[in-house]
Structure 1
Amino acid sequence: MDYKPYRIIEIYPEFEIEEPEKNLKYLLKKANERLTKKQKFLSIILFFITFFITTFIGGLDYISFYKLNYPFFSIKFWLGGLWYSLPLMLILASHEMGHFLTATYYGIDCTPPYFIPAPTFIGTFGAFIKIKSPFLSKRELFDVGIAGPLAGFIVAVPVLTLGIILSKPAGHIVNSKDVITFGEPLLYKIIVLIKYGTTKVDLILHPTGFAGWIGLLVSALNLLPVSQLDGGHISYAVFGKKSFLIAYGLAFVLFISSFFYSGWIIWLVLLIILGIKHPRFFFENEPLDKKRKILALIALLIFYPLICANTC
């Protein structure tokens, strides 16, 4: 072989690239290692810390939305916070469990989902799983990559819909300097159009609506076709070595678009930070079947309405 899939080298330095058949049994053994007690403990601890912080943030949003004066130690404050934390955690958990269960199905060694608590107005930096053994086919790479966004999206849509139903028109308040405004994805606008008959209405988002909005943001970010993001896995599985052309093309489009809408600069910066190219992997010349190519197209159709904000 005239290439060295760096992911295999990175994880297993003793792996003999020139003789893949002899190492297949070794790889499968590594991929089927069980979760350790340390991994399970860390996953549970991070979950509850993140749940606590997001419930607190949700409580603040809840009393602000309904103009209540519940103290922090009030049970009503924390119950109100669940309107935000439960749907948000459900979206993030669905996304990561999509990856985890698919990886487990293929016998790929990976960690359980790890939530990332953060003292921010969101309460978390999301969640992730760590793949500890290399992908052995494009099918594995594609399925693990697409399972998370699809699972998260399926949960995020009803959450956002419920959140918009519970939200209220902002009216004159929307022009206040104290109000934070967010971009409105096309999907958001469609739901608003169905409820109000027009998209020209500003809403004060209910905490559940905010959770749904964050869910769309997480899905959109992960579907960027770059590096080792979910979109990068999908793109590489479909286009192979040529996938970098998609990533560079996206970077160029974002650069041009930033002259017309400054919000795209953030996406361009993220693209640069994350990197462009997806690392090469074993058996990359295996063709991807038609069914999965159709799913890749569906992922693209999901990606567009997720990130298409005020420019639509």
Structure 2
Amino acid sequence: MSIRDPETDHDGPSPEALLPAFRTEDVEVKEDGRLVYYGRPTVEYRRMERELWPLFREHGYEVRLDVVNDAEKDPITGVAINTERQALVAEPRNVGVDGIPWTNIAMLAATVLTTLYAGTIWYYEPVNGPLDLLAGWPFAVAVLGVLGVHELGHYVLSRYHDVQASLPYFIPVPTFIGTFGAVIKMEGRIPDRKALFDIGIAGPIAGLIAAVGVAIVGLHLDPVAVPPDVLNSENAIQLEIGYPLLLQFLAWATGQPLEYSDPSLVTSPVVFGAWIGFFITFLNLLPVGQLDGGHIIRAMAGDRSETIAALVPMVLFGLAGYLYIFANVGFNAPVLWAFWGLIALGLAYVGPATPVFDEPLDRKRMALGILTFLVGVLCFTPVPFEITGI
């Protein structure tokens, strides 16, 4: 690291420009490009942030108030003394992609393989070599397409609002689904409620449109024949899918069946790919914490969103208990909703993202948010799936 003249030797705001919100004692330029303004705030934190965040953003930095451990030598003994000092830590902003995103590429490649493998299960194809995985490509394209469009919706709106965000990270899992979804990492502060709302809602809307398109295509595809050895096997398992109202409506509107009276025929796996999209849309729209629904409700309701978020775990635990005690279902659905109740509890504890400027939303966005939550309810099914023996 190197100590430089705080007046001239860096490209961040000058110490005088931070007054009266923050009084600077000295500035340190780190080797990684960070600027550390040692000093003390002279106003309440939120007010200081609203005054200084736009200034640092104009200079190409994200800033936060932090407590920094600073080692200084005693002038008499020469012994290093660790002291804690308040400081504004400014990190260089980079909204675009910096270099080749090898981690994103590797995780996407792995997820392609796991979804191809899952697709071969749905098409009842044996896997005796790598090329046999290609049999599952329609399912893989359906799932990755819906997830990718969802996350790119977030990414595009992040770029639009000049907020730092990573490319999507796909999560590979070798199961009958092939993935645990995809996420993007928000690396910058959200300017205001409009940006928080737009970024939060863009993913569910984009993913929902993609899922509807995939469902319509899948409903028009031929059903898959279950091989006799699988149908008659004592060791085979049966996966019964609970279809949400939106998917049932699409089947009715297109005149295509979701289920067949002939047990040897099952709906195209592409439809199941759409089902995954609808299910993920519902989960993401839960109005709690850092989920998409949490961002949307925080933008719509402000601090009152924390009260709403606190109710979400109770509702999920209540649903799990009701299904376990009163409904004639197996353990899968109660365990699933209890698991998500625990996740919601943790997300509610962490809390939502807080924008720098907290002015209320306009009426159009409020209406769009309400409509999106209502459509999200149509993606819900109390018993998403049941795994039983044939």
| Range class of TM-score, shorter chain | 0.7 to 0.9
Distance in 2, matches of 1:276 and 1:69, equals 44
Relative contact order (C-alpha < 8 Å, sep 6+): which is higher? 1
Q: How far is 1:180 from its partner?
A: 1.0
Partner of 1:305: 378
Letter in 1 for 2:295: H
Distance in 1, matches of 2:36 and 2:338, equals 34
Q: How far is 1:36 from its partner?
A: 2.3
Q: How far is 1:305 from its partner?
A: 0.7
> Match for 2:240 among 166, 181, 189?
181
Distance in 2, matches of 1:125 and 1:284, equals 34
Q: How far is 1:206 from its partner?
A: 1.7
Paired residues of 1:96 and 1:127 also in contact (CA < 8 A): yes
Partner of 2:104: 43
1:1-312 mapped onto 2 (5 Å cutoff): 17=45, 18-20=47-49, 21-27=51-57, 29-30=60-61, 32-33=93-94, 34-37=96-99, 40-62=101-123, 64=124, 71-74=128-131, 77-166=132-221, 168=223, 178-195=237-254, 204-262=266-324, 263=333, 266-274=336-344, 275-276=347-348, 278-279=351-352, 281-283=354-356, 285-309=358-382
Partner of 2:86: none
Q: How far is 1:24 from its partner?
A: 1.7
Q: 1:157 to 1:290 in 2, by over 3 A?
A: same
* Paired residues, number: 293
Distance in 2, matches of 1:249 and 1:231, equals 13
Paired residues of 1:108 and 1:135 also in contact (CA < 8 A): yes
Paired residues of 2:196 and 2:295 also in contact (CA < 8 A): yes
Q: How far is 1:52 from its partner?
A: 1.9
Instruction: Give unpaired runs (5+ residues) of structure 2.
Output: 1-34, 63-92, 325-332, 385-390
Q: How far is 1:100 from its partner?
A: 0.5
Distance in 2, matches of 1:285 and 1:46, equals 36
Distance in 2, matches of 1:207 and 1:229, equals 27
Could you report, residue by residue, the CA deviation over 1:131-171 in whole angstroms, capped at 9, with x for unpaired residues?
Answer: 11111200011000000010000000121222233364999
Distance in 2, matches of 1:102 and 1:267, equals 31
Q: Which of the two has greater helix per residue?
A: 1
Instruction: Give unpaired runs (5+ residues) of structure 1.
Output: 1-11
Paired residues of 1:99 and 1:145 also in contact (CA < 8 A): yes
Q: Which of the two has greater strand per residue?
A: 2
Paired residues of 1:27 and 1:133 also in contact (CA < 8 A): no
Larger Rg: 2
Distance in 2, matches of 1:60 and 1:199, equals 19
| Identity across matched positions, percent | 31
Could you report, residue by residue, the CA deviation over 1:45-104 in whole angstroms, capped at 9, with x for unpaired residues?
Answer: 211121122112212322x1xxx5674344xx3432111111211111101100011001
TM-score (norm 1): 0.81
Paired residues of 1:46 and 1:114 also in contact (CA < 8 A): yes
Partner of 1:5: none
TM-score (norm 2): 0.66
Q: Alignment RMSD, CA only?
A: 3.2
Q: 1:127 to 1:256 in 2, by over 3 A?
A: closer
Q: 1:35 to 1:255 in 2, by over 3 A?
A: same
More displaced 10-residue stretch of structure 1: 192-201 or 206-215: 192-201
Q: How far is 1:221 from its partner?
A: 1.1
More displaced 10-residue stretch of structure 1: 253-262 or 297-306: 253-262
SS in 1 for 2:61: helix
Q: 1:109 to 1:235 in 2, by over 3 A?
A: same
More displaced 10-residue stretch of structure 1: 45-54 or 99-108: 45-54
Paired residues of 2:121 and 2:176 also in contact (CA < 8 A): no
